[in-house]
Amino acid sequence: MKVAVTGKGGVGKTTIAGALAYILHKRGFKVLAVDADPNANLAYTLGLRADEAERITPISENWDLIEEKTGVRPDSYGMLFRLNFTVDDIVRRYAVKTPCGVDLLVMGVVREALGGCMCPANYLIRMLLRHLIIRRREAVILDMEAGTEHLARGTAKHVGAMIVVAEPSIKAIETVRRIRNLASQMGIEKILLVGNKVLNEKDEYLIRGFSERNRIPILGIVHYDPAIREADLSGHSPILYCPSSRAMREIEAINDRLIKIIKD
């Protein structure tokens, strides 16, 4: 089970990715959460303290690892690098255990080199995501960068499903349509919508109507939940601060539907 969580900026991707990872862990899955957002903050959602989160070296900044695998340091521009290497040891060596039981791997900033060539860091990350071996009862949840740019870089190319999060706003919904179009061009078959920060029936109607008109199956609606906001403002992980709040219960229901859809 390899799932990417995408959507416009600020819609709740990290909150939902973190909560899904936690819920899967509670259901007995071995879960790897991957922070694929250059502006990484999934660590906080999973309950790490700021000092612990800051100590994590993102894979893209781990020059020794990049050199070990590709034979080239990221600053040696233009050099040919190795394309064949194994990646299965990287999770074991670099994933960090978080207080909510999920392992976390932080990818860092992945940019294409000038001229459209692939840089060794980008290649390493793509290989890593592509060849992560997932056994039975294992899950990988990717928290993606906001918007559509990552789709061009192909970081989420090999996922089994893509969740697109939207809040009730025309701009957020438009972004869903763009992500869906690009993701289906890339061959991702299961593209699923989650409505988040829904305040009332009118909000829900907007999101459900969009889902129907555009034939993007909806996994569920998560209401705007003051407990999530409170956790955020007081610097706590929403997962550990309010595990049975309304939003968290709604994400549990979403998780159950997701498992069912992926199985089918």
Ligand X SMILES: Nc1ncnc2c1ncn2[C@@H]1O[C@H](COP(=O)(O)OP(=O)(O)OP(=O)(O)O)[C@@H](O)[C@H]1O
Q: Choose, by CB under 6 A, the member of 62, 175, 196, 255 that binds ligand X.
A: 196
What the block records as the tokens of 173 is 């919904």
Is the Cβ–Cβ distance between 80 and 141 less than 8 Å? no
Q: Which partner, ligand X, Mg ion, none, binds residue 67 by CB below 5 to 8 Å per kind?
A: none
Q: Choose, by CB under 5 A, the member of 3, 12, 14, 245 that binds Mg ion.
A: 14
Q: Which partner, Mg ion, ligand X, none, binds residue 15 by CB below 5 to 8 Å per kind?
A: ligand X
- Complex with ligand X: residue 63 or 224, whichever CB lies closer: 224
Is the Cβ–Cβ distance between 214 and 182 less than 8 Å? no
- Complex with ligand X: residue 14 or 122, whichever CB lies closer: 14
Q: Which partner, Mg ion, ligand X, none, binds residue 10 by CB below 5 to 8 Å per kind?
A: ligand X
Rg from Cα positions in the chain: 18
255: helix, coil or strand? Answer: helix
Looking at the chain, list the stretches that DSSP marks H as alpha helix, in order from N- to C-terminal side.
13-26, 42-45, 50-54, 63-70, 88-94, 120-131, 149-153, 170-185, 201-213, 226-233, 238-241, 246-263
> Looking at 9-17, 102-110, 156-164, 231-239, which segment touches Mg ion (CB under 5 A)?
9-17
Is the Cβ–Cβ distance between 34 and 143 less than 8 Å? yes
Q: Which partner, ligand X, Mg ion, none, binds residue 247 by CB below 5 to 8 Å per kind?
A: ligand X
Q: By rule CB under 6 A, what string of x and - marks binding of each residue 25-64 to ligand X?
A: ------------x---------------------------
Q: Which residue has the tokens 């502006």?
A: 39
Residue type, 68: E
CB of 134 to Mg ion, least distance (A): 23
14: helix, coil or strand? Answer: helix
Which residue sits closest to Mg ion, CB atoms considered?
Answer: 14
146 lines the binding site for ligand X (CB under 6 A): yes
Largest CA distance in the chain: 57
- Complex with Mg ion: residue 13 or 126, whichever CB lies closer: 13
> Binding residues for ligand X, per CB under 6 A?
7, 9-15, 37, 146, 196-197, 222, 224-225, 228-229, 232, 247
> Binding residues for Mg ion, per CB under 5 A?
13-14
